[in-house]
Amino acid sequence: MSVVTVQLGQCGNQVGHELFDVVCADAQDGQRKAYSTASCERFFHQTTHGADLVARAVLVDMEPKVINQSISRAAKSGRWRYGETSHFSQKQGSGNNWANGYCVHGPRHRDMVEELVRREVERCDRLAGLMAMMSVAGGTGSGVGTYVTQCLRDIYPSTFILNHLTWPYGTGEVIVQNYNSVLTLAHLYKLSDAILVHENDTVHRICSQLLNIKHISFGDVNRVIAHQLGSVLQPALTADSHGVYSRNPLGELVSSLACHPEYKLLSVSTIPQMPSASIAYSTFSWPGLLKHLRQMLISNTKMEEGIDWQVRPTAGSERTSSLTAPSFNTSLANLLILRGKDVYSAETGAFEDPALYTSWLSSQEAFNLWKSPVPFNKYEKSATVVSNSQALLRPLDNIVGKAWNMFASRAYIHQYVKFGISEEDFLDSFTSLEQVISSYSQLC
């Protein structure tokens, strides 16, 4: 079954392009036929004549430069390309203004975008779901992206919609990024089935400390995000798929992780991550990988360096609020995805420890496992955990806190009011997110 991706704004288009690059290279990397076929079917469609792989993607941006770049780079790769008419852009961007994106650009171009998505959806034999990729800091990805998600929810009420969000660096890329983030998250929470988040700060650290990149560019950051996302979305054998590659990846992801409407924030951690030159010289063992990954999860370290081994699961009654003291990261549900050699021998019992989870679900229900015997993206063995846990609580709280501080002085509000977002709308969004923060803090 196929996934249609909607790439929104500069970030969404740049990351989306890297994702298709990664999955295409991985699928064609001398892999086994079933895996290759499933992967290509999921992300590409083949033109009637020739072996051309065309991405199942719709590219949307309010200014043309990034889309043009993505399309030409894909074509240059020679392995896959974007559809010629699958993109939509305007001349003038959204000016980092969520209100401009959501109230002006979104409605103005609704019909065009819906048409492009509809065409892509109709090309699929069976639709597994829609994935919208965007950042939350700017104006188009965040504002237009939210509006488009709303439209898609209206048109496809029973389709799974996954939003992949890139959160900006904490020390500012865009001054009003916290406002844009708050408005986006509050709205998406009501529309999306699950919200998968990557933070620029975390990925940047992975690039510098694990991948040893000296001069980190956005390209490097985007490739790491694409690698992690690819390791989640490439074909895998799930509990429900009965020995063949799952035909319902988004559905299974959502149903295993986002089981309560108040809890939709998902984080991703993948190990190992190392410079590609070193991969050939390293050996990995499943016990080693799984031990590290589990500790990363419970100590909320998003990369395999500086893991705090002191953090241990505690009994539920002893857990303190996780906003005040760094402590154990309680999970609501986890999805572990193992890819590579000897995957059937991997012992995952440690992830089923009830101490990791809240008391509402039994650990058998809270823990889910997918496997694939095919190595992913050159790593002989790799393990990914997609987690619905308190991992994003602190970053979310920071964003809301900073936005609230700015709102208290009413700075920049006139820019939003100009396009149709009122102070009331801001207050509603703040209220929704405070509710989410409260819910996650109380997980125990």
Partner 1 sequence: MTQSVVVQVGQCGNQVGCRFWDLALREHAHVNKKGLYDEALSSFFRNVDTRKSDSRACGVGGRIQHLKARAVLVDMEEGVVNEILQGPLREVFDSTQLLTDVSGSGNNWAVGHMTYGSAYREQIVDKLRKAAEHCDCLQCFFLIHSMGGGTGSGLGTRVLSLLEEEFPEVCRIVTSIYPSAEDDVITSPYNSVLAMRELTEHADCVLPVENQSLVDIVNKIKQMSHSGKPGSVIKRDSAIISGRGGLSGPEKPFDAMNNIVANLLLNITSSARFEGSLNMDLNEIAMNLVPFPRLHYLVPSLTPLYTLADVSVPTRRLDQMFSDAFSKDHQLIRADPKHSLYLACALMVRGNVQVSDLRRNIERLKPSLPFVSWNQEGWKTGLCSVPPVGHSHSLLALANNTCVKPTFMELKERFTKLYRKKAHLHHYLHVEGMEQSFFSEAVDSLSSLIEEYHHLDATKRRLMPDAPRLPIAR
Q: Which residues bind partner 1 (CB under 8 A)?
A: 10, 63-66, 69, 90-93, 95-97, 139, 169-176, 204, 207-208, 213-219, 221, 400-402, 404-409, 411-412, 414-415, 427, 430-431, 434-435, 438, 442
Nearer to partner 1, 26 or 425 (CB): 425
Residue pair 19/229 in contact (Cβ under 8 Å)? The answer is yes
CB of 4 to partner 1, least distance (A): 26
Q: What is the DSSP letter of 322?
A: T
Nearer to partner 1, 255 or 432 (CB): 432
Structure-token pair, residue 357: 């989870």
Nearer to partner 1, 291 or 319 (CB): 319
CB of 39 to partner 1, least distance (A): 28
Residue pair 320/442 in contact (Cβ under 8 Å)? The answer is no
CB of 51 to partner 1, least distance (A): 31
Residue type, 166: T
* Cα 331 from Cα 370, distance rounded (Å): 18
Beta pairing class for 331-340 and 381-389: antiparallel
Nearer to partner 1, 44 or 416 (CB): 416
CB of 171 to partner 1, least distance (A): 5
* Cα 351 from Cα 345, distance rounded (Å): 15
Residue type, 364: Q
Residue pair 61/67 in contact (Cβ under 8 Å)? The answer is yes
Nearer to partner 1, 127 or 221 (CB): 221
* Cα 342 from Cα 228, distance rounded (Å): 21
- Taking residue 2's Cβ as centre, other Cβ atoms within 10 Å add up to 21
Residue pair 160/129 in contact (Cβ under 8 Å)? The answer is yes
CB of 307 to partner 1, least distance (A): 23
Structure-token pair, residue 403: 């936005």
Nearer to partner 1, 335 or 436 (CB): 436
Structure-token pair, residue 15: 């990351």
Sequential DSSP letters for 383-394: EEEEEEEGGGHH
Nearer to partner 1, 284 or 412 (CB): 412
Q: What ranges make up the beta strands (E) of 136-261?
A: 161-167, 194-199
Nearer to partner 1, 282 or 405 (CB): 405
* Cα 266 from Cα 238, distance rounded (Å): 19
Beta pairing class for 367-372 and 44-46: unpaired
CB of 147 to partner 1, least distance (A): 18
CB of 80 to partner 1, least distance (A): 22
CB of 159 to partner 1, least distance (A): 32
Residue 154: partners with Cβ closer than 8 Å, 6 or more residues away:
none
Picking from 332, 345, 249, the residue whose alpha carbon sits closest to that of residue 290 is 345
Nearer to partner 1, 35 or 416 (CB): 416
CB of 330 to partner 1, least distance (A): 17
Nearer to partner 1, 14 or 267 (CB): 14
- Taking residue 365's Cβ as centre, other Cβ atoms within 10 Å add up to 12
Residue pair 340/376 in contact (Cβ under 8 Å)? The answer is yes
CB of 156 to partner 1, least distance (A): 31
Please measure the distance between the N-terminal and C-terminal CA atoms of the chain and give it in whole angstroms: 37
